Structure 1
């Protein structure tokens, strides 16, 4: 009897194990096909292994259900001592912690497991001081059913994406109807409302494909929009619904010639088109080969004859190893976009990047007056009015918001210490000068006894800063006050003295700094530069060219023979001759002074009893560094 019961138990366990295995296989298949809602129902019934729980959390994560995702991910995290967890998991857990306002825990995950120490409270405090604008938001689509996002300006209308068409079939990812494009007008008055809402052209909207993220030329005759392809493509063992940018033309009031742009592909997605102000470039988001991460922002030049240049990645100042999407280009060429890879408050945050000297500067988070713990994206601004639109799922589903922005007073500055590069000692009385990108002096400050400088700057500017002190090599550093989240730029100016940098430079006992060269010989009673003297002076020419801020006094000395007047005149002429040689070889006269000392400063004070050797020692040229 006992044997029979044992066989029954083994059979039950085997059958249960087989059932779980089959369920897991079905859930994995649904997951790979992006049917996250159905997959989650099965994963929730499976044994609470790290793998099953992570997949369950992923199903919620990809539908922005962060509270549910957190519950699953936390259980996985608690198993970290028994299973190896990936960086991808830690990033997702970091995201859902932020998305549920658990910033201290998120900061800990970032610091311990992602290798990026972060303090959200400090970040918030910093942004309050540096963001260019504060935003006032108002929900525009509160009375409209479904998911709504992604405003495009279309003449006196707007065009947006929505799932409000309940006649469309449901999309398995989130069990919501496929997206269509809609057009509407904005009511005029104190409270803005959407009016005259109707589906966009039937030639653009389809039944079983998503249409979203439109962009229009100013004449309203060309549009770009995103649409997923009909058939899923298998990429890395997953079936992916590839999204492509399509172009359409308005001919006889009918949208026609609807074709994918030539830089789209069946093997990767292109989406979220945006035109710059003069319509010479089309910006977009893509996971094409060459991306830094999941999705990057690219642009193509729009050429003649309906052709395009090659896609250009905007690089690491904009893109990260995660997601950058929904670009928008303002009239002043500022790029606005959404990212979950840069420092933020959770989900996609909105960023801006100014355009300067042919490139975009590091991006700035727009701050917590516009960004939330969830996804904030699809920013559009009407520059002249400082108003615009954005989309956000901060209330649980995607909605469109209007905003007004008010300038935020902010002050940038650069500060630091000036020290000796070799000794580390502070260098008081150093002159620190701030130059603009064209080399014009913006500000100048003389460093006090504490060796510290602090100079006000402006945002989004390129500068250089120079430390200058007599007898030191000027130190120059280049920087820009771009909007990457810094207003306090700490640049330590480490300056090296000429004496430490050059073997031929030395100090005497009185603290004077000289350039030691071979002695220059003149014929008796003469001051013309002989070939041997020229070779010696060429060493000085090279040194002065190497250090264009160095200033030198050329001092000539005679021996004690002849009269005082004769020696003073002769030494003066020799010093001047030396100066003229340097000028003839490219050294600015303004950097040079000459002085004849005659016999007033002998190195060997032998009076009238000098030997020939002592006379030759006293008969010399000296090169004193003044600056």
Structure 2
């Protein structure tokens, strides 16, 4: 009997020790960053006691710290049932946001503010709520870019951070893993490559990185290759060995003669305890961009840049500043000339990491979310362009993928604009002495665009017909010429004469337009009346309405630089001969002075006042007849030989 009691006591003691050691075991795992293992340990405690505060806290934090905060929500709710706090409401808001429940997330941010008086914490909650309010303002940066999961390339595990160098796609993957990373339960990642032509990848021949050996028992990933292909930088860390580096660091390998060197730790890491990852080169290779959690930043993980030094190292790391970096996380930089792409969960976005572009517009730097056709509620990051900005790759763990993080490719599928052909039928005519118009064959018509560049030219046929093909919504000038006729330039516009793109139905639409060009015979000493040239009574000043008519003569002179003209003024017979002669001379000279002011050489102009010497209607009686006599004419008095 005593023996049985003793055995029972021993069993109870062991049970008690086991129960008390389970939380300690889980905390040790948590402290070591073995979050997935810690989740398994604390889940055993929660199976017996769902309200255990410590277990709920450590499971929630394990999910958050292993980038699965969306799974932490029920555990934060359990904690909040016991006691409200800013920290738990704030993290609950993040979890709700990362699941796309924006209204509930905004409410959780509001509730968090009730549990603090700290200005900095209140500002964090306000920023979170403000970012949510801006989600509805996000538009697609590239409206016609379409994203597709590269199913044949992805594995059932992790595949991320693709880049292309010298016709090879390099990427990070947990395929062929020899062990599981205890923080996530996924396999350790290695570096791989496959031949690629743009976004077309030889998925049948994926090989482990040949430049140097992948290591076992740690994560290797987020590779960057210099533009000249001679330098490789990648992130390495999370080793199972206690003798290895405590965190993720950047390592570099150089091409030397026949191969790449063994990777070495980079001084730009600064401290072994800092997390440094997601490297990218500038387009000329002179600057290294990367993400780091080193002190002095603006949030959890910030983006930095380091310049290439004379010895080939990268140094003088500089934070990219508060316009790009936020109290959240910024990672996976991708500089592209004047544009800078990166991933962030601190700028207004749909959930976890979203892709953004920083660029300067009108002298001001702007940060723009790439939109819902690129980003999702999940993590979207690691963009790389194979044909900027039309196609490339990125990484996402959105719903519907093959594994965890998957590689996606994108293409610009902007619809090809429907074609509008504009055909202009031109008819060349001449004026007859009777004032009618008849066909003028064999007339040269030259076509010029708005930059005065010749875009066509031909002679009209025997019916005075010719045809041009014009661009829609454009301005043109046609110049018609023929020996013995005044050359004439005519503006022509197709603006507003074709349907809008959205109104087009067929892929090709032909529009036919018609116009005529009428030329006047060029004859010496033949008087041509300028209509509507009026002067105030007893004055010779050029009125605005007269200037409009004289501008037509200016154009004739410009189109026909070989002619010299006499510009004559005539009066009626209602004043003395001497007065009318003087008045008409002054009026003719005023007209000549105006034409000279418009750029015509005075040498080509002769002013002549005839007074009442050349009346058209003798003994005029009515005001209309007197007006017919009061006229301004011009005639060609000389044609210079070409």
Asked whether the two chains share a fold, i.e. TM above 0.5, the reply is yes
Match of 1:404 in 2: 411
Is 1:352–2:357 an aligned residue pair?
yes
CA separation of 1:204/1:20 partners in 2, compared to 1, >3 Å: closer, same or farther? same
Match of 2:287 in 1: 281
> Could you list the per-position Cα deviations for residues 256-314 of structure 1 after superposition, in whole angstroms to 9, with x for gaps in the alignment?
15212212131212111111111111000011122222111000111222133311001
Q: CA RMSD in A?
A: 3.4
Match of 1:147 in 2: 158
Is 1:209–2:208 an aligned residue pair?
no
Alpha-carbon deviation of 1:99? 2.9
Match of 1:390 in 2: 394
**SS in structure 2 opposite 1:354?**
strand
Alpha-carbon deviation of 1:402? 0.4
**SS in structure 2 opposite 1:250?**
strand
Match of 1:27 in 2: 26
Is 1:184–2:188 an aligned residue pair?
no
Is 1:256–2:269 an aligned residue pair?
no
> Could you list the per-position Cα deviations for residues 135-171 of structure 1 after superposition, in whole angstroms to 9, with x for gaps in the alignment?
31101145532210001221111100001013x2222
CA separation of 1:111/1:362 partners in 2, compared to 1, >3 Å: closer, same or farther? farther
Preserved CA contact (<8 Å) 1:140 1:192: no
Is 1:165–2:152 an aligned residue pair?
no
* Cα distance in 2 for residues equivalent to 1:110 and 1:139: 34
* Cα distance in 2 for residues equivalent to 1:193 and 1:103: 41
- Structure 2 matches for 1:465-480, cutoff 5 A? none
* Cα distance in 1 for residues equivalent to 2:132 and 2:297: 31
**Normalising by structure 2, what TM-score?**
0.55
Structure 2 gap segments, 5+ residues each = 113-124, 416-642
* Cα distance in 2 for residues equivalent to 1:122 and 1:86: 20
Greater Rg over alpha carbons, structure = 2
* Cα distance in 2 for residues equivalent to 1:262 and 1:360: 34
* Cα distance in 1 for residues equivalent to 2:331 and 2:241: 21
CA separation of 1:344/1:193 partners in 2, compared to 1, >3 Å: closer, same or farther? farther
Match of 1:175 in 2: 185
Preserved CA contact (<8 Å) 1:135 1:405: yes
Match of 1:50 in 2: 53
Alpha-carbon deviation of 1:196? 2.2
* Cα distance in 1 for residues equivalent to 2:290 and 2:12: 53
Match of 1:77 in 2: 80
Match of 1:125 in 2: 136
- Structure 2 matches for 1:443-482, cutoff 5 A? none
Match of 1:372 in 2: 376
Alpha-carbon deviation of 1:115? 2.9
**SS in structure 1 opposite 2:357?**
strand
Preserved CA contact (<8 Å) 2:233 2:251: yes
Structure 1 gap segments, 5+ residues each = 409-627
Alpha-carbon deviation of 1:10? 13
Match of 2:586 in 1: none
**SS in structure 2 opposite 1:263?**
helix
CA separation of 1:71/1:274 partners in 2, compared to 1, >3 Å: closer, same or farther? same
Is 1:317–2:323 an aligned residue pair?
yes
**SS in structure 1 opposite 2:73?**
helix
Preserved CA contact (<8 Å) 1:317 1:360: no
Is 1:221–2:224 an aligned residue pair?
no
Match of 1:585 in 2: none
Aligned length: 390
Alpha-carbon deviation of 1:33? 1.1
* Cα distance in 2 for residues equivalent to 1:27 and 1:171: 16
Match of 1:96 in 2: 95
**SS in structure 1 opposite 2:267?**
coil
* Cα distance in 1 for residues equivalent to 2:222 and 2:285: 17
Preserved CA contact (<8 Å) 2:212 2:262: no
CA separation of 1:56/1:161 partners in 2, compared to 1, >3 Å: closer, same or farther? same
